[in-house]
């Protein structure tokens, strides 16, 4: 209790000081060229901080009158809590990067963020991106980075050596796995040391679910579809079959995301169900092998239904606590993220793993093989957004449940039932109808 | 009411006049009330609500119903008890054994005492991360060493059968220093005359231990059992640093279930969980403490 009070007190004092400062500078002179100070928040880990620094440097060449200070914080669930706390206590930085889709809905955008729907760039967004940064009342974020897909990164040399074809149905995929296993290689790479990577059999299969039942996501949000029923149950069954087929690397229980990327790029393993964003790490750590890694979506049972499952990029937002000239400066910075120079910076540090979400930016011509493979699926219209972008419901325990199914601790049916239980809490916390 | 107060027996102990004025208590008292008492009582209210940092909605017993119907809660409860009793039992056995060793005639006794105590000083997170590396099933030092002598070690932290026990073993390694320290003090308090008398009667080492040492270190045992049981029941940091409750939910304890709920933003639910944990720990520790101390007085 008192901590809050003290914070509030600190906040008031800071505000008072700021008012005093503004008053002083207001007396000092003109409006146009005085120095405005704003802050930018990025997530640590990966290329976040490096991108932030580069962005600020480029931004200052164009707007020397705005001083931007870079702050960083951890990502993941820990970061989610920090973001919520900062927004609730009014201490959020003036511009911050954060997820789109269900995680954005969880930070209550209508109350906490500045609507940006009237900005010029807002009309250039690709259609599937608009809902993931919007509520009924407005649009709140500008895209930052490229989209990616959840599917299978595969090792092209192994495919060539064994004369395999890229599979489009689950049966073809399984017979490829048998052939690879017979050749004495790891057919499927799993890395449960980083538990989130275990979810891809389920999350990356969602494009196929949508292909079979267009309204699945809407009905799921309304509480009328469940994972214990087909077609969604199949995602869990697929993971169970993959485990029972004994296709996994022997250290699947302890291996990490980075190990998985190493295996698929150097040919220690053939298939790695993962986000295609992994290619940017491969480009950094195994640049000689980047051409050896291709992409295909997780195959549906019926080749007709196979779709790429797309993850839309993160976005930059402005909290509603940013006002006045700071707000104007913050809007300029947000706009700059998708300027020609901003677009270049987005793909300079992160090798693009999929298309941009705004027509303002274009992919460079030398993108990796896996990105080109994905682009074909998108261009053919065979791509659907991932569940977290079309429904606010995402249970927190999915990664533990998929570890259980993928390690033979529980069956697909048990896992699906557990997950259906798990999401009830999320739906209730969000106050959705029908739960 | 008034009658009840009037007939209440006067306290037998004479009140001792304190050396210090009462207001010396105020700073500590304020800190205690503000940082401990208020949040504790507030949590009893918030356990009945669905709250976020911005708003509160009263939901009655809903959180408790949800909490008790959590599928992983049963695993969590079972694991918490296994963990609490395994660590507490092993700390008694190893603590007493080490204490006997370290009170005996021994070269470099002081040095060895420090070595045994040292892990206590290291942070649980640091220990957890270190052991995660040591216990890696393929490149870890432990399994590599076992392999050198022809044993294939288990997958320690990643095998569902082993994970919880592996963490318990790490906990014992880390915490046995405290138990040893308490036992050393307990052993030092046993008068030598008993051993001399027993020697005259022709008692051997084993009889000495069984009939003199063990009964007379009971106060130390009580302390060790209590401390490690409380610690074990609410253990969290080490489990989180090593397995995060995994693989799957196989090493989840109540505290890690609650933490995951908090992380997911189910604040009301996790507050309810903490209230339940508070009650469970109290319900176990109070009788245990009463039992152990009563026996001590009767002796």
Over residues A59-88, mean pLDDT: 87
Does the pLDDT at position B166 exceed 70?
A: yes
Q: Is B138 on the interface with A (CB under 8 A)?
A: yes
Mutate to test the interface with A, among B60, B264, B269, B270 (most CBs of A within 10 A): B264
> Does residue A377 register a pLDDT over 50?
yes
A407 contacts in B (CB within 8 Å)?
160, 247-248
Task: Please give the pLDDT value at position B295.
Answer: 61
Task: Report CB contact under 8 Å: B247, A108.
Answer: no
pLDDT of residue B15: 58
Contact A403 B247 (CB under 8 A): yes
State pLDDT tens for residues B88-135: 999 999 999 999 999 888 888 889 999 999 999 999 999 999 999 999
Neighboring chain A residues of B262 at a CB cutoff of 8 Å: 81
Asked if B247's CB is within 8 angstroms of A192's CB, the reply is yes
Q: What is the pLDDT of residue A357?
A: 87
Q: Who contacts A92 (Cβ-Cβ below 8 Å, separation ≥6)?
A: A41, A83, A86, A112, A319, A321, A322
With beta carbons under 8 A apart, name residues in chain A contacting B246: 192, 195, 400, 403
Give chain B positions within 8 Å (CB) of A428. 50, 66
pLDDT bin (cut points 50, 70, 90) of residue A21 is: very low
| pLDDT band, residue A30 (cuts 50/70/90) | very low
Cβ distance of B246 and A397 shorter than 8 Å: no
pLDDT digits (tens, 9 = 90+) for A172-205: 999 999 999 999 999 999 999 888 899 999 999 9
Span A50-58, average pLDDT: 90
pLDDT at A85 over 60: yes
* CA neighbor of B195 nearest in space, from B212, B210, B217, B174: B212
Q: Span B47-63, mean pLDDT?
A: 82
pLDDT, mean over chain A = 86
Q: List, in order of start, the domains of chain B with CATH numbers.
A: 65-298 (1.10.3720.10)
Contact B39 A1 (CB under 8 A): yes
Our CA-based measurement puts residue A98 at a distance from the nearest CA of chain B, in whole angstroms, of 16
Whether A397 sits inside 8 A of B260 (CB atoms) is yes
- Comparing alpha-carbon positions, the chain B residue that sits nearest to A429 is B266
Min mean pLDDT across A56-60, A314-318, A390-394, B162-166 is at: A390-394
Instruction: Assign A19 a pLDDT band (cuts: 50, 70, 90).
Output: very low
**Which of A312-324 are b and which e, b meaning 16 or more Cβ less than 10 Å from the residue's Cβ?**
bbbbbbbbbbbee
State the pLDDT at residue A33. 54
pTM of the model: 0.78
Strand partners, A384: A309
Please determine, for residue A20, whether its predicted confidence score (pLDDT) is greater than 90: no
Between B42, B246, B264, which is nearest A1 by CB?
A: B42
- A chain contacts of residue B52, beta-carbon cutoff 8 Å: 84, 108, 429
A237 has pLDDT over 50: yes
pLDDT of residue A232: 93
Residues with Cβ < 8 Å from B174, sequence gap 6 or more? B119, B120, B122, B124, B127, B238
Is A76 a residue whose pLDDT tops 80?
Answer: no
CA-nearest residue to B252 within chain A is A400
The partner residue sitting opposite A251, judged by closest CB among B70, B137, B247, is B137
pLDDT for residue B176 is more than 60: yes
Nearest Cβ partner for B269 among A84, A192, A425: A425
Q: B287 in the Ramachandran plot: left (φ > 0), alpha (ψ -120 to 50) or beta?
A: alpha
CA distance A182 to chain B (A): 23
Q: In A, which residues are within 8 Å of B160 by CB distance? A: 407, 409
Q: Do B160 and A407 touch (CB under 8 A)?
A: yes
Q: Residues A119-149: pLDDT tens digits? A: 888 888 888 888 889 988 899 999 998 889 9
Domain boundaries, chain A: 33-146+313-349, 148-311+375-429
Q: Determine whether the interchain pair A425/B158 forms a contact, defined as Cβ–Cβ distance below 8 Å.
A: no
**Which residues 32-71 in chain B show a CB within 8 A of chain A?**
34-35, 38-39, 42, 50, 52-54, 66, 69-71
Of A89, A111, A421, the CB nearest to B71: A421
- Domain A33-146+313-349 of CATH type 3.40.710.10: no
- pLDDT top residue among A316 and B285: A316
**A16 or A359, greater pLDDT:** A359
Q: What is the per-residue pLDDT across B124-162, written as a single tens digit (0 to 9) for each?
A: 999 999 999 999 888 889 988 998 898 888 888 888 889
pLDDT at B298: 53
Residue B297: pLDDT band by 50, 70, 90 thresholds? low
Range A148-311+375-429 classified under CATH 3.30.1490.20: no
pLDDT, position A9: 41
Q: Which of A358, A374, A357, A364 lies closest to A312 in space, CA to CA?
A: A357
pLDDT-derived band at B232 (thresholds 50, 70, 90) equals confident
**Does residue A316 have a pLDDT over 90?**
yes
For A199, which residue in chain B has the nearest alpha carbon?
Answer: B248
The whole-angstrom distance between B88's CA and the closest CA on chain A is: 28
Taking residues A298-308, what's their average pLDDT?
92
- Compute the average pLDDT of residues A263-280: 92
- Please return the burial class of B121, using the count of CB atoms within 10 Å of its CB with bins 0-12, 13-18 and 19+: exposed
Per-residue pLDDT band at A321 (split at 50, 70, 90): very high
| Fold matches, A33-146+313-349 and A148-311+375-429 | yes
pLDDT tens for each residue of B11-45: 555 556 677 888 888 999 999 999 989 988 888 88
- Contact yes or no for A341/A319 (Cβ under 8 A): no
Question: Chain A within 8 Å of B152 (Cβ-Cβ)?
Answer: no
At residue A14 the predicted structure's pLDDT band, cuts being 50, 70 and 90, is very low
Task: Return the pLDDT at B71.
Answer: 74
* Residues in chain B closer than 8 A to A424 (CB atoms): 66
A282: pLDDT strictly greater than 60: yes
Long-range contacts of A42-47 (CB under 8 A, 24+ apart): A42/A70, A42/A71, A42/A72, A42/A96, A42/A97, A43/A72, A43/A73, A43/A74, A43/A75, A43/A79, A43/A97, A44/A72, A44/A73, A44/A74, A44/A75, A45/A74, A45/A75, A46/A75, A46/A350, A47/A280, A47/A349, A47/A350
Q: Give this complex's ipTM.
A: 0.75
Determine the average pLDDT of the residues in A80-107.
89
- The answer to whether residue A430 scores a pLDDT higher than 60 is yes
% residues pLDDT > 70 (chain A): 92
pLDDT beyond 70 at A74: yes
Give how far A162 is from chain B: nearest CA, Å.
29
Chosen for mutation from B36, B139, B156, B247 (greatest number of chain A CBs closer than 10 Å) is: B247
């Amino acid at each position: 209790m008192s901590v809050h009070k003290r914070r509030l007190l600190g906040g008031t004092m800071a505000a008072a000081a700021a008012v005093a400062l503004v008053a002083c500078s207001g007396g000092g002179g003109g409006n146009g060229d005085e120095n405005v100070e704003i802050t930018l928040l990025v997530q640590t880990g990966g290329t976040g901080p490096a991108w932030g620094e580069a962005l600020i440097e480029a931004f200052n060449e164009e707007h020397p009158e705005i001083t931007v200070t870079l702050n960083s914080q951890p990502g993941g669930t820990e970061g989610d809590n920090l973001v919520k706390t900062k927004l609730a206590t009014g201490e959020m930085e003036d511009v911050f990067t954060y997820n789109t889709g269900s995680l954005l809905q969880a930070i209550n955008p209508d109350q906490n963020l500045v609507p940006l729907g009237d900005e010029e760039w807002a009309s250039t967004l690709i259609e599937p991106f608009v809902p993931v940064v919007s509520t009924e009342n407005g649009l709140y974020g500008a895209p930052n980075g490229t989209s990616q897909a959840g599917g299978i990164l595969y090792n092209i040399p192994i495919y060539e050596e064994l004369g395999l074809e890229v599979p489009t149905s689950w049966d073809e995929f399984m017979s490829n796995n048998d052939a690879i296993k017979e050749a004495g290689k790891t057919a499927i790479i799993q890395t449960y040391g980083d538990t989130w990577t275990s979810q891809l059999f389920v999350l990356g299969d969602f494009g196929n679910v949508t292909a079979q039942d267009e309204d699945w996501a809407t009905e799921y949000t309304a509480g009328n579809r469940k994972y214990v029923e087909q077609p969604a149950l199949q995602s869990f069954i697929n993971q169970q079959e993959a485990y029972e087929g004994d296709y996994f690397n022997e250290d699947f229980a302890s291996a990490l995301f980075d190990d998985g990327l190493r295996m698929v790029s150097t040919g220690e393993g053939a298939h790695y169900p993962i986000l295609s964003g992994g290619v940017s790490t491969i480009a950094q750590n195994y640049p000689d092998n980047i051409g050896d890694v291709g992409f295909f979506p997780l195959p549906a049972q019926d080749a007709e239904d196979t779709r790429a499952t797309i993850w839309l990029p993160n976005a930059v937002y402005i909290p509603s606590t940013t006002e006045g000239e700071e707000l104007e400066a913050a809007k300029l910075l947000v706009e700059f993220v998708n300027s020609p120079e901003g677009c270049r910076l987005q793909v300079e540090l992160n090798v693009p793993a999929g298309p941009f979400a705004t027509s303002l930016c274009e992919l460079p011509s030398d993108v990796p093989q896996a990105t080109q493979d994905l682009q074909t699926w998108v261009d053919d219209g065979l791509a659907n957004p991932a569940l977290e972008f079309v429904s606010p419901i995402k249970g927190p325990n999915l990664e533990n449940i998929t570890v259980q199914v993928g390690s033979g601790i529980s069956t697909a049916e048990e896992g699906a039932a557990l997950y259906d239980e798990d999401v009830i809490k999320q739906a209730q916390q969000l106050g959705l109808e029908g739960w | 009411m008034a009658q009840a107060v009037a007939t209440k027996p006067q306290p037998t102990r004479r009140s001792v006049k304190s050396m210090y004025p009462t207001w010396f208590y105020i700073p500590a008292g304020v800190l205690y009330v503000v940082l401990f008492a208020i949040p504790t009582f507030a949590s009893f209210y918030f356990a009945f609500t669905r709250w976020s940092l911005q708003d509160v909605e009263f939901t009655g017993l809903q959180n408790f119903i949800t909490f008790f119907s959590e599928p992983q809660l049963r695993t969590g409860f079972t694991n918490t008890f296994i963990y609490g009793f395994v660590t507490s039992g092993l700390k008694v056995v190893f603590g007493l054994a080490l204490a006997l060793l370290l009170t005996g005639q021994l070269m470099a006794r002081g040095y060895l005492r420090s070595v045994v105590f040292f892990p206590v000083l290291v942070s649980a997170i640091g220990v957890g991360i270190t052991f995660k590396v040591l216990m890696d099933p393929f490149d870890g030092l432990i399994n590599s060493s076992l392999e050198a002598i022809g044993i294939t070690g288990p997958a320690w932290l990643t095998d569902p059968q082993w994970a919880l026990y592996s963490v318990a073993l790490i906990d014992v390694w880390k915490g046995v220093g405290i138990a040893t320290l308490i036992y050393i003090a307990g052993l030092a308090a046993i008068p030598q005359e008993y051993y001399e008398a027993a020697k005259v009667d022709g008692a051997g080492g084993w009889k000495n231990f069984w009939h003199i040492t063990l009964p007379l270190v009971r106060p130390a045992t009580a302390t060790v059992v209590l401390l490690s049981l409380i610690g074990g029941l609410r253990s969290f940091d080490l489990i989180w640093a090593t397995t995060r409750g995994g693989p799957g939910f196989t090493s989840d304890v109540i505290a890690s279930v609650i933490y995951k709920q908090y992380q997911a933003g189910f604040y009301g639910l996790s507050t309810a969980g903490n209230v339940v944990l508070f009650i469970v720990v109290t319900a176990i520790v109070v009788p245990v403490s009463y039992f152990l101390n009563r026996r001590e007085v009767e002796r």
